[in-house]
Amino acid sequence: MTDGPMKTTATVIPALRYRDAPAAIDWLCRAFGFERHLVVEGDDGVILHARLSFGSGMVMLGSVREGAHDSMMIQPADTGGSETQCPYVVVADADAHFARALAAGAEVVMEVADQDYGGRLYTCRDPEGHIWNFGTYDPWK
Predicted TM-score of the model (pTM): 0.88
Contact predicate 121/113, CB 8 Å: yes
Residue 57 has pLDDT above 60, yes or no: yes
Residues 24-55 have pLDDT tens digits of 999 999 999 999 999 999 988 899 999 999 99
Pairing of strands 15-18, 57-63: parallel
- Delineate the domains of the chain, giving CATH numbers in brackets: 15-65+81-135 (3.10.180.10)
